[in-house]
Structure 1
Amino acid sequence: MGRTAEWTAKGRGLLGKMPYWSSRGELGTWEERELLRARITELEAVLDAVSARAQADPDRSDLAPSYVAKARLELDAARDVLSHRTHPMMRRAAHLGVARSHLDVALNLMVWTASLDDVKALLPDLAARVDEHFAPRDPRRIRIKEIAQRLNQPDNRTLEPSERSFLADTVSLARRLLRKETLRVRSFVRIVRLVTIGLGLAAVAVAWAGCYWDDMVPLCFTPEYRNTFSVVCPTRTVTGFTSPPGTDAIASASRGADYLVVEIVGLVSAGIASAAALRRIRGTALPYGVPVVLALLKLPTGALTAVLGLLLMRGGFVPGLSALDSTAQIIAWSVILGYSQQLFTRSVDSQGQAVLDSVRGPQSPGSSGADHRR
């Protein structure tokens, strides 16, 4: 017993030295996490320079120590959040959003601390943030432009406290709007993932029920050829009936693998449709796999549409297609029906792209000067 505990402790110690084990809670984008760490280092250097200039400014020297101290606390908090063991596990990329929130607060505090020259240097970035998230006729956006025009005049050397407060508050609101848009993407991904899991469980349940009760709802057809009837199922064909086969004959011809075969064919066909849909995907820099969950949604949907489509055809819902002649025809229609899930998931694809486009940023389509409706 003691030897087993010793081996377990040694194994854990060995795993603890492995890079993968040390980052087991890190589920977000590694590049983005390192980018945020580099941004923290950059802001620390900028904060040192801003603090030194603010100390030399008689109008800012009394406020600089307090704002600088708070800004450093926010940068330290952002660095702690980005470490491997301080954020909750199994919350995909949540620590990245928390770190950005701390960085945003530090930037706002720097606006309060910065001298007039520093504010002028920050104005292009502040104005771009506001332009991304406010409509062209929004009074806050117009006010930002007026302040920028006044500060850029050569003879202007003053920045009113009310203007500084307005800049900090408006840019802070713009960053909060960006965070809400990002959280909306995460919520959309979670909803699609849950729906995909639900449809996957439904497909498994249908396949299991078809294997267990193979004669409950057979996926079989009864075509007639020269006064001879047949029972055609996805995995078997029985011929030689001189009269229309009854329920017992159809039930005896069905097999437990009928539903499973149809669902596999529909799933493979939906997978091909997912691959074909990749041509419309532009990708995203967000740490949430919207294209991936949309592609996975098609797989169980295709399996279920193949089964449900064949049931509709067997019930005579589609005129002229109530009696398929061979097993090959059933499989062929399963392929078509599995691919036809595009009719149901196309609207979800459009919504996913709309959710991605709603996240405004320097690389967002139409982000500059576009009217962002809310």
Structure 2
Amino acid sequence: MNPTQDVAGKNAFSWRQRALAYIAELQSQLDGYNDGSAPARGAQRHLDAAREAAAAEPSLKGAWSGLAVDRTWANINKVEVALLKLIPDMELPWWGSDVLARALQHLGPQDPRRAKLEEHLGGQDGKLSPQDRTLAVITLQAANIAAQQEKVRLRSFRNTILISTAVMAVVALALSVVGALHPQAIKLCFNDPSTGPACPIGRLPSPWDVAIVELVGLSAASLVGAIGLRHIHGTSAPYTLPIVLALLKLPAGAVSAVIGLMLIQARFVPGLSELDTSAQILGWAALFGAAQQLITRLVDEQGQNVLRNVRDSSRGVDNP
């Protein structure tokens, strides 16, 4: 079975399918220009490497490092540049718009290569002349490097959020373990002189107090997070950042519920030093769990900014 057929099976991902389709298109173009020269042979090697990377077996290490994504698109970009060098002069004019669009997507308006290419194409009705081939090659290379850096920044941000989520989950787990082993260590019970003691579960401290508070906080966080999904847009990038951002809210809600009740216990909130029923305690746990949105909202906004800076042909050509 060839790699292309294998990747279409159970291990397929959408970015791999898009990459393989584009590789097939590039292969057909390269076949038409392959004259056996050294540049053509080099382009074929890059195309084979891109196909191999796109069809490789997915792994957790590869997903974390982005090795398959980087190798696939780096080699595809090399083939694009090689084709621009190989195509005959008579077909060159029609590449002007494509190269300029790539430059507008990924290079800033002050980039001298983009500005020079815009100037030259503007005076030639958008058609690329043989005299500007070298300029187009240099500009395309720069735009491709910028596009790769955009994906690297996206992956780095996603990995940072994953680490933060894991750390928060460990903290939540540690709190629940301590609460189970030493119910008196994390005091979530209150003692109203008129009604007597009140705990998250019943009237006496329980090994399950911290766990039930975290569960309520996590549930409230998931509800608020679901409501917030209306502001999150999908992405064609190979990293599922919106899902990762949503996962961060769950352990954050669990931890904030416990910390919030501890602050009430410590009389940091005037007028709420004594809660007299389990329902009130769990109600405040839900409120503090939902309140994590005040912090994670800032992370969501940063995530959307990172996603907006990852541009492709579907995102238009306005300035990054």
CA distance in 2, matches of 1:192, 1:26: 27
**Aligned twin of 1:48:** 31
**Aligned twin of 2:149:** 180
Contact 1:120 1:151 in 2 (8 A): no
Letter in 1 for 2:162: R
Deviation for aligned residue 1:151: 4.4
Deviation for aligned residue 1:320: 0.5
Letter in 1 for 2:61: M
Larger RCO (alpha carbons 8 Å, 6+ apart): 2
Q: More deviation in 73-82 or 169-178? A: 73-82
**Aligned twin of 1:245:** none
**Aligned twin of 1:246:** none
Q: Deviations along 1:322-365, whole A, 9 cap, x unmatched?
A: 1012111001111111101001111111111111011122223x
CA distance in 1, matches of 2:201, 2:302: 38
Contact 2:105 2:318 in 1 (8 A): yes
Q: Are 2:188 and 1:219 aligned?
A: yes
Q: Deviations along 1:139-160, whole A, 9 cap, x unmatched?
A: 2222112232344499x9x622
Q: Are 2:139 and 1:170 aligned?
A: yes
Q: Deviations along 1:190-247, whole A, 9 cap, x unmatched?
A: 111111111101101100101101112321111132xxx511111122xxxxxxxxxx
Between Structure 1 and Structure 2, which shows a larger proportion of helix residues? 2
Where in structure 2 are the equivalents of 1:321-360 lying within 5 Å?
A: 321-360=272-311
Give the count of matched residue pairs: 314
Q: Are 2:69 and 1:91 aligned?
A: no
Match of 1:254, SS state, is coil
Letter in 1 for 2:230: R
Q: Quickly say closer, same or farther: Cα 1:121–1:368, change in 2 above 3 A.
A: same
Q: Are 2:318 and 1:369 aligned?
A: yes
CA distance in 1, matches of 2:252, 2:126: 61
Deviation for aligned residue 1:38: 2.2
For the aligned residue pairs, the C-alpha RMSD in angstroms reads 2.4
**Aligned twin of 1:143:** 116
Where in structure 2 are the equivalents of 1:254-293 lying within 5 Å?
A: 254-293=205-244
Where in structure 2 are the equivalents of 1:120-131 lying within 5 Å?
A: 120-131=93-104
Deviation for aligned residue 1:130: 0.4
5+ residue gaps in structure 2? Answer: none
Match of 2:235, SS state, is coil
5+ residue gaps in structure 1? Answer: 1-16, 53-63, 238-252
Q: Deviations along 1:96-122, whole A, 9 cap, x unmatched?
A: 331111111011111122222322111
**Aligned twin of 2:252:** 301
Contact 1:51 1:114 in 2 (8 A): no
**Aligned twin of 1:117:** 90
Q: Quickly say closer, same or farther: Cα 1:309–1:139, change in 2 above 3 A.
A: same
Identity of aligned residues (%): 32
Q: Are 2:125 and 1:159 aligned?
A: no
Contact 2:264 2:272 in 1 (8 A): yes
**Aligned twin of 1:59:** none
Deviation for aligned residue 1:46: 1.5
**Aligned twin of 1:67:** 39
| Higher-Rg member (1/2) | 1
Scaled by the length of structure 2, the TM-score of the pair is 0.90
Contact 2:201 2:209 in 1 (8 A): yes
